[in-house]
Amino acid sequence: MTIKKVASWSDTKFITYSSFLFSLPVFVNKPDKDILVPSLLLFSTSIISANFWRNALYDWRRTLDIYFARLSFSYFFIHGLYCIPWPYNFITSINTFNIGYCYHKSGEEYERKNKRWVWYHVGFHASVAFNVYYILKYFPRKNCLLTGTPVKM
């Protein structure tokens, strides 16, 4: 029994590389013990995503990538709602719509067998990394409705 390919390497190589954008905000933000858990989550997400896209098959790696992406997105979405101060929360809220648009458009174009789906997916990865930068910048150590600490900008 052969496992069906999602897409060829020529289509997915840029998505594979863009998977590592998830880890970029960790390196750009100031190191702190408070961002250890989110950093591990981002590194794991990057590795799992790149591992899937390097040879995109309809197998267990795809399932793991989808579940881990949902877990990671939920974690950062919730922290983004409560930890990012004005005006950055406005910017990241607008970008969250862009994340949804790119994700939706990527799937739509993939179904139409249009090669542009790859660039929408790369845009999805880049947009997520943009929001994660601000989430880590204002993570609970500085400002968060979850911890009740005051805003420091």
Summarize pLDDT for 34-93 with one digit per residue, the tens.
Answer: 888 999 999 999 999 999 999 999 999 999 999 999 999 999 999 998 888 889 999 999
In sequence order, what are the residues at sequence separation of 6 or more whose Cβ sits closer than 8 angstroms to the Cβ of residue 148? none
DSSP 21: G
Angle at CA 24, nearest 5°, toward 130 and 74? 55
Residue with tokens 């993570």: 139
Tokens encoding 65: 């990538």
What is the reported pLDDT for 138?
86
pLDDT higher than threshold 70 for residue 96: yes
Looking at the chain, the whole-number percentage of residues with pLDDT higher than 70 is: 91
For helices 36-53 and 60-83, the axis angle rounded to 10 degrees is 150
Furthest CA-CA distance within the chain? 58
What is the reported pLDDT for 142?
53
